[in-house]
Amino acid sequence: MNRQTLERHQVFIWAIRHDSVMVQACFAKI
């Protein structure tokens, strides 16, 4: 697992932990 994948995974965990509308909106834009 490279560094970029690890960072992306941490962001995903953070998004689940902070299940907010703003976070979902950010993921929707990607």
Looking at residue 15, what is its pLDDT?
A: 73
Number of domains in the chain: 1
pTM of the model as a whole: 0.39
Q: How confident is the model at residue 2 (pLDDT cuts 50, 70, 90)?
A: confident
Looking at residue 1, what is its pLDDT?
A: 62
Residue 23's contacts (CB-CB under 8 Å, 6 or more residues apart) are: 14, 15
Q: Is the pLDDT of residue 30 over 80?
A: no
The boundaries of the domain holding residue 22 are 1-30
Q: What is the pLDDT of residues 3-28, one digit of tens each?
A: 888 888 888 888 777 777 777 777 78
